[in-house]
Amino acid sequence: MRSSNPVLGRAFNQRGYAAFDPTATTETDAALENLYNAPAASSMRTGRMTIDDVVTRTGILFAVLVTVGAAAWTLNLGGGAMMLGVFGGFALAMVNSFSKTVKPAMIVAYAAFQGLALGTISHLYNDMYQGIVSQAIIVTICAFTGMLFAYKSGRIRVTPKFTKVLMTALIGYLVLALLSFVGSFFGASIYSMGGFGLLIAAGGMVLASFFLILDFDQIQKGIDAGLPEQESWRAAFGLMVTIVWLYMEVLRFLSILRGND
């Protein structure tokens, strides 16, 4: 199964819940099944990943992100700290992606660097458009809640066609993002092109929201497959990548709206 995380791409598919291959885990499943069925005290854990594990790890990561982000916001650290957070976060994302073993300390460090980046970026946006950050947070929470409800209620189902459409849309979006990045050096960013820029930003926001569905589905399949408890860190890491992506897309969309007023 391919990863749904836009930042990690193919690298995150090497291992973990997003790389689960049923044909390659027969021995592991058998061992876990034996452990599960073995006589033991009722309080003994099976060692399998559960939804509670994923929720707990995700909560830890976001607590770190928010704490560091709040400090970066309050101290108004500026562009240097922002670049450190962006590039440090990217480097740690690659380390966690290519690692054959789960490294909780590296994942927590990634959350800290992301907090540094988001805290400084959010402060810059809020200086230009007062109140935009609180609006972006509310929209992000609503989008997450809505997608979770849609997945749990069965209103949106993950099918091969659904996944293929999202992956194709992601490729197109990444191409546009690359063109925008190159164009920004010549004063011609796609996001600054009036209505077209607003449309692209809206598309990115919607795309990030739907990628949450793939993340929920992959986490559920990892739990059903009996992946080791340690993999809950990787699941939380992958989910956080998508949520941060969604927040940045919402922030960009709202800034374009406010800028066009």
Per-residue pLDDT of the chain (261 residues; tens, 9 = 90+): 444 454 434 333 444 333 334 444 444 445 445 444 444 333 345 588 999 999 999 999 999 999 999 999 999 888 889 999 999 999 999 998 888 889 999 999 999 999 999 999 999 999 999 999 999 999 999 999 999 999 999 899 899 999 999 999 989 888 877 776 666 555 555 555 556 677 888 888 999 999 999 999 999 999 999 899 999 999 999 999 999 999 999 998 998 888 765
Which backbone phi and psi does 102 adopt, to 5 degrees?
Answer: -75, 130
User: Which amino acid, 72?
Assistant: A
Domain residue ranges in the chain: 9-18+47-259
Sign of CA dihedral 214, 216, 217, 221: positive
| 143 in Cβ contact with 206 (< 8 Å) | no
Q: Please, which residues have CB within 8 angstroms of residue 213's CB and are 6 or more apart in sequence? A: 147, 150, 151, 156, 158, 162
Q: How far apart (Å, rounded) are the C-alpha atoms in residues 139 and 145?
A: 10
Sign of CA dihedral 234, 239, 242, 246: negative
Each residue of 132-166: pLDDT tens digit? 999 999 999 999 999 999 999 989 989 999 999 99
pTM: 0.78
3-state secondary structure of 247: helix
